[in-house]
Structure formats: C-alpha cells, structure tokens
Amino acid sequence: MTPELDIELLTRNIANLVKDEVRKQTSPKTKREEPEARTKLRRVIRTMMNAKFETLCEKYADELKFIQDRDPEWVPDNNFFDL
C-alpha cells in the first residue's frame, strides 16, 4: 500500500466511525444528539487523529529528524501534516 492509500483509508475509517457513533447516539424521534454523544464523538475523533498523527510521524521519521537536527526547538504538530 502506498502512503496516500493508507491516509485515505484511515480517513475513511474515521468518517465511518463517526457516522456509526452518531447513528447509535441519536434519538430517532428528535434526531438530536445528546451531550454524551458529542463527548464520545470528540473522544473517537481525537483518538483517531492522534493515531493518524503518530502513524505519519513514524512514516516520516527520517524527514522529521532532519528538520529537528537543524532546529532543535521545533516539534511537529497536527498542522505540520495538515490534519
């Protein structure tokens, strides 16, 4: 698998998890999310984004090391990978 496909697949999985969680936590009569559902969604999204970030850091470890060697104070964040 190419890195692009890995990221695309992971993104699709995140979207599916969010849809499933919304479907589970939404009241069928009112179609409104309960506060508990929003909290769970945030947790799921945060977990998946952290996993995606860690995967990208591992995949591009050599490039990140190269940057950090030139600027020791630099630390990658989610914005670096445009997440």
pLDDT in tens, 37-82: 677 777 777 777 777 777 777 877 888 787 778 887 877 766 665 5
Please state the φ and ψ torsions of residue 5, each to the nearest 5 degrees.
-70, -35
Instruction: Quote the domain boundaries for residue 9.
Output: 3-81
Contacts of 56 (CB under 8 A, 6+ apart): 7, 81
| Sign of the dihedral defined by the CA atoms of residues 79, 80, 82, 83, in that order | negative
Could you tell me which of 4, 1, 3, 7 has the C-alpha nearest to residue 83? 7
Determine the average pLDDT of the residues in 10-35: 67
- Dmax over CA atoms of the chain, in Å, equals 58
CA of residue 78 relative to chain centroid, distance: 9
Q: How many domains does the chain have?
A: 1
Determine the average pLDDT of the residues in 4-18: 71
